[in-house]
Amino acid sequence: MKKEIIRLTNISRHYKVGTELVKALDGIDLTIHQNEYVALMGPSGSGKSTLMNILGCLDTPTSGEYFLNGQNVSHMDDSRLAEVRNKEIGFIFQTFNLLPRSTALENVMLPLVYAGYGKTKRIEMAEKGLENVQLSDRMEHKPNELSGGQRQRVAIARALVNNPSIILADEPTGNLDTKTSIEIMGLLEQIHKEGNTIIVVTHEEDIALHAHRIVRMRDGKIESDKINKDIAYV
């Protein structure tokens, strides 16, 4: 049995909007093991973005327990959550979230600064990360000198550089054309084959179908959680 990376037990997240109580998440139970490739799907208002924020330690639940790699992160303060995020989670965003005045190499090095690595080691690790996404020849380029696909590759290299427990990809192809989207999804598949745990948050069916397991949400609850039978487990 593979190691349990994520366990959510009865997770709820409620917001006050005026006098109304909005139940963005309502009693979520979810377990994800090492090297799973999971798509998290749902229409607008389903709760998938709120769940992604909790999985990514960007928010804490109103109630329930969240264990990430054996640590209970449900009730941590902001500074502890920031430490966990940097160590355990690699983020890939739809909008890339690269620093515009920094080179590709500097962008990839950023998580390593917070992790406390020395400069020589940071450069070595970031160079290796960019080589792994076929961007050795673009290390000194700034984001505005790169194509959309190249920017997303930089973001993927940055997400992987700390060797995190999970890769959390939020609509990773949302700003890309079809050809580039296929290339990026192929890269995520390769990253999964190398042993990484990947969670992709998407509303696009064709993107979700790359995953080995599809979790569908509606009205703050998990509507279904099924193995993608069209993909054989490696």
pLDDT digits (tens, 9 = 90+) for 166-205: 999 998 888 888 888 888 899 899 899 988 999 999 988 8
For the segment 140-167, what is each residue's pLDDT rounded down to a tens digit? 999 999 999 999 999 999 999 988 989 9
Those residues whose C-beta lies under 8 Å from the C-beta of residue 138, and which sit 6 or more positions away, are 104, 130, 145, 146, 150, 154
Give yes or no for a contact between 200 and 169, defined as CB atoms under 8 angstroms apart. yes
Q: Which of 38-42, 56-60, 113-117, 142-146 has the lowest mean pLDDT?
A: 113-117
Size of the chain, expressed as the number of residues it contains: 234
Q: What is the DSSP letter of 106?
A: H
For the segment 46-101, what is each residue's pLDDT rounded down to a tens digit? 999 999 999 999 999 999 999 999 999 998 999 999 989 988 999 988 888 899 99
pLDDT at 5 over 60: yes
- Pairing mode, if any, of strands 213-218 and 221-227? antiparallel
pLDDT at 233 over 70: no
Local confidence band at 232 (pLDDT 50, 70, 90 cut-offs):
low
pLDDT of residue 234: 45
4-227 to CATH, choices 3.40.50.300, 1.10.10.10, 3.40.50.720, 3.90.1150.10 = 3.40.50.300
Task: Tell me what the pLDDT averaged over the chain comes to.
Answer: 91
